[in-house]
Amino acid sequence: MLVTVIGLTSLVGLAAAPQLSSAEKSVVIWDGTAVQVEAGELQVPESRQRSTPRRVTIPYYRLKSTSPAPASPIFLLAGGPGSSGIDRFKGEETNREAMFYRTIADVVMFDQRGGGHSRPELHCPQIRQYPLDQPIDERFRAMAREAVIECRDQHVRQGVDLAAYNTVENAADVNDLRLALGYKRITLIGGSYGSHLALRLMQQYPDTVDRVVLFGVEGPDHTWDSPREMLNTLERIAEATERSAAFAGRTPAGGLLKTFAQTLARLETAPQTITVMDHGQTRTVTIDAEFVRRAWRRDAGRRNNPNIWPELIIAMDRGDFSVLGRRAVASRTIEVPDPIHFSMDCSSGVSEARRRRYEHDSARSFLGDINAEYEALCGVWPVEKFDASFHDNVVSDIPTLIVHGTWDMSTPLENAREVARTLTRSRLVEVIGGNHGALYNLYERWAPMRDRMRQFLTGHEADFPATIDDMKEIVFKMPGEVTQ
């Protein structure tokens, strides 16, 4: 395994300069219509730390602004890591967002190194099948490690410098794209991993960033998840659920979280074996505490069907695990995420102080080890280990708007609060009931959103409130109306 310690003041720039090519292209979007874009590719060094002839190709789309006086160009930073920014443009949500931004400034979307349509294409086709009748334990993690090592070795044999696929290099790619397109300063809009990348750009290239919009915030030291803060999110969801008319008189004594904890305690000593039909076959599968812990994060806080998580807890409390059956079968298939997942997240890692805090977090007894994947798999993946300053909070006076949901089960609200404290010109908007895409929650349902955003992106004072209540859009169904 390669571990290289590097500083963050500058990148060495050992390879040849980036090269840009572009042409007009017609892109068919979600509603069947075509949009003309500038479609291009930027070739950048695979590594700016080590001399190498290998290049990475970054594809991009640019929408020229329709404004007579455009603001700073807007770069949309996709999440993931590894999501395709140019594919997302074809979907309704991102397309509507981009076309709105186009009325304000040029809009640039791209696929980050290692993700989407960038080249080299990095994939992990490895799959393992874990026995259905066995609980999920260290044997499961060992099989996952075996598959990850096989994927790692496959790419290393092909000459890929996996350690070069990290957020510092990723930020340098964005800066090179900015330069190649002829922009002096740009505005960044990023959610989830895209917020992590935006914060890196604010730290690495502060003089090039005009304004920033963050949502679903992953700060410099937030790649690993905080058990306590995830439990805080669950508590907010549980409290709102228990207040709803749909669960009046139906919530078990002590509340949803206490009931969930009691179910986990029973499964720790006595895992349940159930029979399910899967693709026409009868299968017997074991439901254990570790599997149920994995399931909660997927179900809790789903705005489109908020009943799923509480109904599951109530069903398990009365001994009914059938709803988990087919999902438990699927959970025994170990599929390795694409390499960019490991390269970006494992290189970002966690500070020692935060790691120790998580190890002694009392919420782990309830949630389990929510960072087990990082603990089990990052040790076998090549990474560049950055110096300790990588995990420092970003201190900046760049105008920044932060939008974060109180029901965000991927990045807890406390992330956004921590990031906002050291951004002296930031405004944090907490969306009550908002999820990981809280920015889109506001675009869909908060009438002043576009006007306020236009003001912010054009350099004016924008009157965003500290909180926006979006709970009225979350509809708990009454018994008999629920569909799983």
280 dihedral zone (left: phi>0; alpha: psi -120 to 50; beta): left
Q: Say yes or no to pLDDT of 203 above 50.
A: yes
pLDDT digits (tens, 9 = 90+) for 129-169: 999 988 888 999 999 999 999 999 999 999 999 999 999 99
Q: Say yes or no to pLDDT of 331 above 70.
A: yes
Q: Say yes or no to pLDDT of 327 above 90.
A: no
Round to whole Å and give the CA distance between 105 and 108. 10
Look at residues 457, 382, 427 and name the one whose alpha carbon lies nearest to residue 105: 457
Which pLDDT does position 191 carry in this prediction? 97
Q: Say yes or no to pLDDT of 13 above 80.
A: no
**DSSP state, residue 111:** P
Which pLDDT does position 480 carry in this prediction? 66
Residue 72 near residue 186 (C-beta atoms within 8 A): yes
Look at residues 436, 289, 294, 261 and name the one whose alpha carbon lies nearest to residue 373: 294
- Continuous segment of H or E residues that includes residue 231: helix 227-243
Beta-bridge partners for 427: 401
Look at residues 291, 189, 233 and name the one whose alpha carbon lies nearest to residue 411: 233
pLDDT digits (tens, 9 = 90+) for 335-380: 988 899 999 999 999 999 999 999 999 999 888 889 988 998 999 9
Burial of 174 (C-beta count, 10 Å sphere; 0-12/13-18/19+): buried
**What is the token pair recorded at 400?**
């920044």
Share of the chain above pLDDT 70, in %: 95
**What is the token pair recorded at 313?**
């807890």
Residue 202 near residue 220 (C-beta atoms within 8 A): no
Q: At 80, is the pLDDT very low, low, confident or very high (cuts 50, 70, 90)?
A: very high
The mean pLDDT of 246-263, rounded to a whole number, is 94
Name residue, tokens 């998840």: 225
Which pLDDT does position 280 carry in this prediction? 83
Q: Which of 6-15, 250-259, 420-429 has the lowest mean pLDDT?
A: 6-15
Preceding amide of 465 cis, omega within 30: no
Please indicate whether residue 295 or residue 314 has the higher confidence score (pLDDT). Answer: 314
Round to whole Å and give the CA distance between 267 and 252. 18
Name residue, tokens 């089960």: 409
Q: Which of 31-45, 153-167, 225-239, 316-330 has the lowest mean pLDDT?
A: 316-330
Which pLDDT does position 3 carry in this prediction? 41
**What is the token pair recorded at 186?**
């740009």
Which pLDDT does position 79 carry in this prediction? 96
Q: Dihedral sign for Cα 262, 268, 270, 272, please.
A: positive
Q: Which of 2-16, 171-185, 261-275, 400-414 has the lowest mean pLDDT?
A: 2-16
Q: At 5, is the pLDDT very low, low, confident or very high (cuts 50, 70, 90)?
A: very low
**What is the token pair recorded at 462?**
């924008």
Which pLDDT does position 279 carry in this prediction? 78
Domain with CATH 3.40.50.1820 in the chain: 3-121+161-224+390-473
The mean pLDDT of 287-303, rounded to a whole number, is 85
Q: Say yes or no to pLDDT of 318 above 60.
A: yes
Look at residues 269, 268, 270, 285 and name the one whose alpha carbon lies nearest to residue 323: 285
Q: Say yes or no to pLDDT of 403 above 90.
A: yes
Residue 303 near residue 257 (C-beta atoms within 8 A): no
CA distances to 256, 308, 311, 465 from 250, rounded to whole Å, are 10, 14, 10, 35
HEC string of 262-279 equals HHHHHHHHCCEEEEEEEC
Strands 74-77 and 186-192, by their bridges, are parallel
Largest CA distance in the chain: 68
Burial of 128 (C-beta count, 10 Å sphere; 0-12/13-18/19+): middle
The mean pLDDT of 46-72, rounded to a whole number, is 95
The mean pLDDT of 257-263, rounded to a whole number, is 95
CATH of 3-121+161-224+390-473, one of 3.40.50.1820, 2.60.120.10, 3.30.70.980, 1.10.3720.10: 3.40.50.1820
The mean pLDDT of 385-391, rounded to a whole number, is 93
Amino acid identity at 31: D
Q: At 245, is the pLDDT very low, low, confident or very high (cuts 50, 70, 90)?
A: very high
Q: Say yes or no to pLDDT of 6 above 50.
A: no
Q: What is the DSSP annotation of 379-440?
A: GGS-EEEE-GGGGSPP-B-S-EEEEEETT-SSS-HHHHHHHHHTBTTEEEEEEET--TTHHH
Please indicate whether residue 14 or residue 349 has the higher confidence score (pLDDT). Answer: 349
Rounded to a whole number of angstroms, the CA Rg of the chain reads: 23
User: Cβ of 258: how many Cβ atoms within 10 Å?
Assistant: 13
Round to whole Å and give the CA distance between 159 and 146. 20
Round to whole Å and give the CA distance between 56 and 44. 5
Q: Which of 169-178, 364-373, 381-390, 450-459 has the lowest mean pLDDT?
A: 364-373
3-state secondary structure of 5: strand
Q: At 392, is the pLDDT very low, low, confident or very high (cuts 50, 70, 90)?
A: very high
Round to whole Å and give the CA distance between 273 and 135. 10
Round to whole Å and give the CA distance between 180 and 242. 54
Residues in the chain: 484
CA distances to 49, 58, 345 from 46, rounded to whole Å, are 9, 11, 18
3-state secondary structure of 339: helix
Share of the chain above pLDDT 90, in %: 79
Q: Mean pLDDT score of the chain, rounded to an integer?
A: 92
Q: At 472, is the pLDDT very low, low, confident or very high (cuts 50, 70, 90)?
A: confident
pLDDT digits (tens, 9 = 90+) for 92-126: 999 999 999 999 999 999 999 999 999 999 999 99
Question: What's the pTM value of the predicted model, to 2 decimals?
Answer: 0.94
